[in-house]
Chain A
Amino acid sequence: MEIDPVTNGNTDAVMTEPTPAISPSRPLVPSSRLSQLTESIKLEHQLLRVPFEHYKKTIRANHRSLEREVSSVVSSVGDLADNDWSKDVAVSRLTSLVSRLQGLKRKLEEGSNVENLQAQRCRARIDHLDSADVENITEWNNTKLKRILVDYMLRMSYFETASKLSESSNILDLVDIDIFREAKKVIDALKRREVASALAWCADNKTRLKKSKSKLEFQLRLQEFIELVRADSYKQAILYARKHLTPWGATHMNELQHVLATLAFKSTTECAKYKALFELQQWDVLVHQFKQEFCKLYGMTMEPLLNIYLQAGLTALKTPYSFEEGCTKEDPLSQESFRKLALPLPYSKQEHSKLVCYISKELMDTENPPQVLPNGYVYSTKALKEMADRNKGEIKCPRTGFVCNHTDLIKAYIS
């Protein structure tokens, strides 16, 4: 019985029977696989950061409201002691304070439960990254692909598919459906030309937005102002500007002036600069800006993860010959849809030649050097020898049908 090892640089693909099956290359030596795995984990910042930001936000919000309540209770006591209230009033007020504290205790507990759940989710993500191993790498990659797909669904607002996919693949802990739902509410409101939810969101995240010097709130206020002008409610517009726009004057005077001047124009004005301000597209700009601030806050990329990975993958796989016919079906770029996507992308740079035999799909290297037929077509030495052995020394080019003898072959030297 012959042992026919497949020497492709693979160490564990030795088959114990001479099956002619073409099997895919087995995993490489573990050390390079391990470093690949580490590199792939390094790309997962978003996975850890998003639930953490959510957790941080909840903690801070809970703390703020708690602080307010406690300080109000303390100051109420102080007020009672300082002023001369009657005994009955004092008793009734103290009693109400006590019940308020009870309510506060409950709220604290509930808040802590929510925080714990979120902490659990953060931990689940870290554990998931930890569980990645060279052994279970196919499964881990499979889960990764599902995660990336859920991220795509959420960004395109396909919530039903996202939920179904997460449930059936058991990755609910690894995806952020609720965070995207929160964003969708605001975006839907903006699309209906209502700024209320967006402004509420800005108020919720005031400190963070201030730190990143965001002018989202300013833009929202400007838009409300423009809408008031559009509706010809000039007086209201001016009052609004006095109340909400003046605080921003110190830092954004130019823009403020530019928009305030809309008071002088009608919404149907033909003046190009001001016509642009009245365009309904401005709302789309606001939606985009909100998305940007939102993603920045949570440490997410603006683009869907799927697009990022696809772009990088397609461009790495693309070669100048990628659009030729007759390539192996294993290549994703042999599929019409992938080709369409890859069309505007650059092709990858290679430092060294890598030749693949058309017949055996094996690498043509020094152990299996390429041989040239008289018509210029090249195949691997092994495949050609096999063919010659089976056909009494005759070689037939599978692509052109050209026939020659094994002795007519010339060795090519590729460095």
Chain B
Amino acid sequence: MELKSIKDAFDRVANKQKLSYTKTQEIIQMLSQELDKALILLQEQFDHRPILASLKKTLQENSPLTQIEVREKELNMALTKYPKVLEKQQLNSDISKAYRHNVEFDTHVVNQIIANFFYRQGMFDVGDCFLAETGDESECSTRRSFVEMHQIVEAMEMRRELGPALNWATSNSEKLRQARSDLEMKLHSLRFLEIARDQTSQEAINYARKHMAGFADSSLYEIQKLICSLLWSRNLEHSPYSDLLAPSRWNDAVRELTRQYCNLLGESSESALSTTVAAGTQALPVLLKYMNVMVAASKKLDWQSVEQLPVAVELSEEFQFRSVFVCPVSKEQASDENPPMMMSCGHVLCKQTINKMSKNGARSSFKCPYCPTDVDISKCRQLHF
């Protein structure tokens, strides 16, 4: 797909438009001039008829309308070509082809999701305006929490203040530890560097002793770096540890804080809305291609009521949140009614396949399709991924 050809096609349109404009300007100018000439002549001479007759003749010879038409036609051609160029570059002209129309999204739920997104991003006035316009009476429950989060983040980003962040981190220390987050350590390092810069090295060491000792098992290397950096206390920019001063450390800390805060709120680290839209962006091309193929082959598709998508959509790894087991024999996905079962040889099939292989219990053992072991049905164990 080449954006250049789209740009070129549009440039052509713009050029033709300019040409048409200049030509029309010329024509109008010419008409004005001829009329002015005629008026002057009329003042001077007595007989007006030949002047008017010659004026008419001049206008006819110049045929202003035809000239304008010619340019306009060229412009029209360029205008008609442009959408064709878009199609040629494989821009999907209708992305709603794969949309299921019998599914109605509950507007209220969608509005809540959108409002939540706005609050999460810190766009409080937009979110409030939105809820006001929807006429939704219920307030978004997470608003207050996000306000708090943004206050902490703002303090860090705008004023380089670590106080609120440290308070929050220490009060949620246990949960952060459970989530195996290094947020506390990150914040303490930043504070340590601040103290080392503004106060004495001794104060910094005291701080480290008080707050960082508990992280020795997880962040020993970081602590070592920090303590060593005290050797260059006034000259950190020229030391081997100059990267400790990098502003990206603040950004990392802010990012980690946002993620952990959202996690503790029960939200995902990345906004759920943007994750879903990103997943949709990956899924749509596949679905649309499938629809086009079906339409081209004139196959009727009962699109509206299938339980499983008829085409596989491969999402990239970051969308793999839960395990999916596909039985290698039946190609069906495991579910509660059809769980994965492990046979004594270590291979796994889904329950329905195993039932079929053993003819619904008519035979007590069968051969595993992978290794030639005999499998006893009663010894098959249900797996939980």
- 1/0 per residue, CB under 8 A from A, across B361-377: the answer is 00000000010000000
In the assembled complex, how far is the CB of residue B60 from the closest CB belonging to chain A, in whole angstroms?
A: 8
Task: Name B's interface SS.
Answer: helix
B347 adjacent to A78 (CB under 8 Å): no
Segment of A179-187, A219-227, A262-270, A314-322 engaged in the interface with chain B: A314-322
* B281 A330 Cβ-Cβ under 8 A: no
- Contacts A22-B181, A310-B110, A354-B324 known; list 5 others, CB within 8 Å: A144-B281, A161-B133, A310-B280, A314-B280, A351-B331
Closest to B335 in A: A320
User: What's the least CB distance linking A246 to chain B, in Å?
Assistant: 32
Question: Which residues of the other chain, B, contact A335 by a CB distance below 8 angstroms?
Answer: 267-268, 272
Query: Residues on B close to A: CB < 8 A?
Result: 1, 3, 6-7, 10, 13-14, 17, 20-21, 24-25, 27-29, 31-32, 35-36, 38-39, 42-43, 48-49, 52-53, 55-56, 59, 64-65, 68, 72, 75, 79, 82-83, 86, 89-96, 98-100, 103, 105-106, 109-110, 112-114, 116-117, 123, 125-126, 129-130, 133-134, 179-182, 218-219, 221-222, 256, 263, 266-270, 272-285, 287, 306-326, 328, 331, 333-336, 342, 345-348, 370, 381-385
Contacts of A315 in B (CB 8 A): 283, 309
| A38 CA / B381 CA spacing, docked (Å) | 45
Q: CA–CA, A82 to B313, complex, Å?
A: 75
- List 15 interface pairs A-B (beta carbons < 8 Å), by A numbering: A19-B182, A52-B83, A126-B10, A130-B3, A145-B273, A309-B281, A316-B279, A317-B279, A322-B322, A332-B275, A335-B267, A337-B109, A341-B109, A345-B100, A351-B331
Most buried by B among A49, A80, A313, A329: A313
Contact between chains at B336 and A161 (CB < 8 Å): no
Tell me if B72 and A363 are in contact (CB < 8 A). Answer: no
Total A-B Cβ pairs within 8 A: 399
CA distance A302 to B82 in the complex (A): 22
A347 CB to nearest B CB, Å? 6
Is there a chain B Cβ closer than 8 Å to A42's Cβ?
yes
Q: Is A405 an interface residue (CB 8 A)?
A: no
* Beta-carbon contact of A42 and B1 below 8 Å: yes
Q: Bin the interface of chain A by size.
A: 35 or more
Tell whether A311 pairs with B103 under 8 Å between CB atoms, given A165-B126, A329-B266, A348-B313: yes
- Report whether A108 and B28 are in contact in the complex, using a CB–CB cutoff of 8 Å: yes
| Docked complex Cα distance between A74 and B325 (Å) | 79
Q: Of B14, B79, B268, B281, which contacts A43 at CB under 8 A?
A: B281
Question: How many whole Å from A224's CB to the nearest CB in chain B?
Answer: 30
* Chain A 39-81 interface mask (CB, 8 Å, partner B; 1/0): 1111111101100100010010001001100110110011011
Q: Please, how many angstroms separate the alpha-carbon atoms of A63 and B275 in the complex?
A: 47
Whether B384 pairs with A377 at a CB distance below 8 angstroms is yes
Q: Which 3 A-B pairs have the closest CB atoms?
A: A313-B280, A320-B335, A331-B321
Taking the nearest CB of chain B, how far is it from the CB of A18, in angstroms?
A: 8
- The CA-CA distance from A308 to B94 in the complex, in Å, is 11
Asked if residues B114 and A320 are in contact (CB atoms below 8 Å), the reply is no
CB–CB A81/B53 < 8 A: yes
Residue A32 interfacial (CB < 8 Å): yes
Closest to B95 in A: A43
Q: Which of A10, A148, A350, A351 has the most CB of B within 10 A?
A: A350
Residues of B within 8 A of A40 (CB): 281-282, 285
Q: A164-B125, A311-B100 are in contact. Are A317 and B52 (CB under 8 A)?
A: no
- Interface-central residue, A299, A378, A411, by most chain B CB under 10 Å: A378
Q: With contacts A19-B219, A332-B268, A356-B323 known, is A90 near B52, CB below 8 A?
A: yes
Tell me whether A48 and B55 are in contact (CB under 8 A): no
Contact of A148 among B32, B277, B342 (CB under 8 A): B277
| Known A25-B318, A321-B336, A399-B384; contact A98-B92, beta-carbon cutoff 8 A | no
Could you tell me if B346 and A410 are in contact, using CB atoms closer than 8 angstroms?
yes
Q: Is A115 close to B, CB under 8 A?
A: yes
Q: Which of A123, A309, A340, A345 has the most CB of B within 10 A?
A: A309
Rounded to whole angstroms, the CA-CA distance of A353 and B349 in the bound complex is 11
Give, as a whole number of angstroms, the nearest-CB distance from A170 to chain B.
13
Q: Are B221 and A349 in contact (CB under 8 A)?
A: no
Q: Does A101 sit at the interface, judged by CB under 8 A?
A: yes
A42 to B92, CA, bound (A): 6
Q: If the complex has contacts A66-B24, A90-B48, A413-B346, are A338 and B272 also in contact, measured as CB distance less than 8 A? A: yes
Which residues of A are found within 8 Å of B312, using beta-carbon distances? Answer: 348-351
